[in-house]
């Protein structure tokens, strides 16, 4: 895997001289400000270009801890598979609440056209985050006609502070989602790492018993998950207006 490993860094809270199509991201970008939204949408367009070059990719946010190799947990037949803030129980259900911070995408004509459509949708829903827009366009007839094979990853394997995995014997990643503030994220991620170290130190018999559990979230809030329905309605209303 290391022979085919590329790191592209998009920072939202740390200064970085990163230039993309005329825009230079040098300063801190606060969540949901115009500069933040511009950077998030440029990210979608950049990933489209990666697909057009013929590369599959795993995209991961910097606030995601990896504990196990995720590839055995990916679906073999999916074009686009994405982690969730809330998983409703089946990977095909469009009512799952996806989180754009972690996804595995295969390069093909369907995914390239999907990313083009996703990026162009920013003009239909101005002022909205790419993730909020995805939560609406996943139902669009264009996606259905495209026959994109979209799957949603189970939070039992790809958890987060919104919905932590309950089984440390299965978990591959933990995302510091449903969390505002760098200090809050760092605090809870440190607790997460301590919990994982404690789990690893257990004898095999205790690991299998699944008695270990996360002590997070602490400083991070789960309240964000309750805003999804109202946010989706707002995005849909913006299209109607």
Query: CA 205, CA 210: separation in Å to the nearest integer?
Result: 9
pLDDT at site 15: 36
Query: CA 45, CA 186: separation in Å to the nearest integer?
Result: 29
189-206: pLDDT as tens digits? 999 999 999 999 999 888
Nearest 5°: phi and psi at 174? -135, 125
Report domain extents, the chain: 31-156+225-240
For every residue of the chain, which 3-state class applies, written as one string?
CHHHCCCCCCCCCCCCCEEECCEEECCCCCCCCHHHHHHHHHHHHHHHHHHHCCCCEEEECCCEEECCCCHHHCCCCCCEEEEEEECCCCCCCCCCEEEEEEEEECCCHHHHHHHHHHHHCCCCCCCCCHHHHHHHHCCCHHHHHHCCCEEECCCCCEEECCCCCCCCCCCCEEECCCCCCHHHHHHHHHHHHHHHHHHHCCCHHHHHCCCCCCCCCCCCCCHHHHHHHHHHHHHHHHHHC
pLDDT at site 25: 40
Query: CA 6, CA 27: separation in Å to the nearest integer?
Result: 24
Report the pLDDT averaged over residues 215-238. Answer: 65
51-101: pLDDT as tens digits? 999 999 999 999 999 999 999 999 999 999 999 999 999 999 999 999 999
Mean pLDDT of the chain: 85
For the beta sheet containing 173-175, the strands, ordered from the edge strand earlier in sequence to the opposite edge, are 64-66, 173-175, 158-160
145-201: pLDDT as tens digits? 999 999 999 999 999 999 999 999 999 999 999 998 889 999 999 999 999 999 999
Q: Return the structure tokens found at 237.
A: 């209303």
pLDDT band per the 50, 70, 90 thresholds, residue 223? low
pLDDT band per the 50, 70, 90 thresholds, residue 40? confident
Q: Return the structure tokens found at 50.
A: 């990666």
pLDDT band per the 50, 70, 90 thresholds, residue 241? low
Is the pLDDT reported for residue 212 higher than 70?
Answer: yes
Query: CA 227, CA 222: separation in Å to the nearest integer?
Result: 10
pLDDT band per the 50, 70, 90 thresholds, residue 39? confident
Is the pLDDT reported for residue 27 higher than 50?
Answer: no
Query: CA 122, CA 137: separation in Å to the nearest integer?
Result: 11
Is the pLDDT reported for residue 37 higher than 80?
Answer: yes
pLDDT band per the 50, 70, 90 thresholds, residue 36? confident
pLDDT at site 229: 47
pLDDT at site 52: 97
Bridging pattern class, strands 18-20 and 23-25: antiparallel
pLDDT at site 22: 42
């Amino acid at each position: 895997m290391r022979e085919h490993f590329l790191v592209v860094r998009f920072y939202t809270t740390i200064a970085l001289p990163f230039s993309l199509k005329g825009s230079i991201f040098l300063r801190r970008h606060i969540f949901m400000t115009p500069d933040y939204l511009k950077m998030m949408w440029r990210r979608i367009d950049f990933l489209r270009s990666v697909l057009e070059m013929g590369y599959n990719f795993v995209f991961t946010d910097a606030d995601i801890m990896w504990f196990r190799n995720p590839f055995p947990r990916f679906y073999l037949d999916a074009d686009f598979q994405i982690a969730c803030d809330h998983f409703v129980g089946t990977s095909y259900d469009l009512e799952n609440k996806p989180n754009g911070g972690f996804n595995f995408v295969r390069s093909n004509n369907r995914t390239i056209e999907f990313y083009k459509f996703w990026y162009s949708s920013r003009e239909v829903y101005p002022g909205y985050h790419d993730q909020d827009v995805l939560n609406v366009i996943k139902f669009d007839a264009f996606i259905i006609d495209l026959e994109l094979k979209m799957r949603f990853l189970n939070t039992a394997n790809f958890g987060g502070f919104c919905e932590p995995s309950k089984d440390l014997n299965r978990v591959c990643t933990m995302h510091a989602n449903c969390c505002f503030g760098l200090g809050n994220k760092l605090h809870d991620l440190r607790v997460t790492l301590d919990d994982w170290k404690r789990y690893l130190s257990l004898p095999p018999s205790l690991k299998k018993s699944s008695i270990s559990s996360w002590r997070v979230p602490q400083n991070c809030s789960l309240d964000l998950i309750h805003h999804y329905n109202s946010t989706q309605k707002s995005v849909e209303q913006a299209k109607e207006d």
